[in-house]
Amino acid sequence: MAGLVEESLSYVSENLQEILMLPIDMNCMNSSLVKRLAGKVEIEVLDSLKDKKDKLKSKVFMKKLEILF
């Protein structure tokens, strides 16, 4: 199961903009998963994301800041 989670996080990090455009609720991701995702996404990519409904961007950005500090 851990391998599947890791593969899923890699896929999401590589296709984050496209995933954010889908009409899905991203609140199912717990804090631990968001932190792991933040570790895989570069800060420049995060900054360039367009997330009109703020489904995930602010959460990932906060976790990225935690990692950097």
pLDDT of residue 63: 96
Q: Domain boundaries in the chain?
A: 2-68
Q: Is-above-0.85 flag for pTM?
A: yes
Amino acid at 8: S
Give the rounded distance of the alpha carbon of 20 from its chain centre: 9
Q: Which residue ranges of the chain lie beneath pLDDT 50? A: none
C-alpha dihedral (56, 58, 62, 64), degrees to nearest 10? 60
d(CA 43, CA 47): 6
Q: What is the pLDDT of residues 8-20, one digit of tens each?
A: 999 999 999 999 9
